[in-house]
Amino acid sequence: MPEDELEQPGADEREAMRRLEEEIGRLSVADHVLLMMHSLSSLAVERLGISPETAGRKDLEQARLAIDAFKALLGLLEGKRPAEEITDHRAVLAQLQMAYVGALGPAPAGGEGGGDTP
């Protein structure tokens, strides 16, 4: 496709982008971390493929990575956010971890686990 056919952002789009960048610039780093955690939890749920809508996107390796990243970011926020907020995020982490274990399926015969939980 020739360069002249590529769509350039219009003035409205450039203005919207400028306003978005200003708004993002006003957020604290902790707020950015929270946004990342929200995104990671959504990705984890999708990659767990639990619902009929997400079953086709099931990828347990990606789900585990998202859950582990969520857990790491949560550790960074401890002491920097209210304790009640951290408790709420710990509950989300526990739900994600339990959903991951459930998505792994039944344990092999003999009760030996694979040790593959986040």
Q: What is the mean pLDDT of residues 48-62?
A: 92
Alpha carbon distance, N-terminus to C-terminus of the chain = 45
Q: Which amino acid is at 36?
A: M
Q: What is the mean pLDDT of residues 26-39?
A: 93
The pLDDT value recorded for residue 94 is 98
The pLDDT value recorded for residue 23 is 84
Cα–Cα distance measured from residue 71 to residue 95, given in angstroms and rounded to the nearest whole number: 12
Cα–Cα distance measured from residue 41 to residue 70, given in angstroms and rounded to the nearest whole number: 7
pLDDT of 11 > 90? The answer is no
Residue 47 confidence class, pLDDT cut points 50, 70, 90: very high
DSSP string, 23-61: HHHHS-HHHHHHHHHHHHHHHHHHHHT-STTTGGG--HH
Of residues 76, 84, 71, the one with CA closest to residue 31: 76
The rounded percent of the chain whose pLDDT value lies above 90 is 60
pLDDT of 115 > 60? The answer is no
Residue 102 CA, distance from chain mean position: 18
Domain ranges, ordered by start, for the chain: 26-103
What pTM, to 2 d.p., does this model score? 0.74
Residue 38 confidence class, pLDDT cut points 50, 70, 90: very high
pLDDT of 82 > 60? The answer is yes
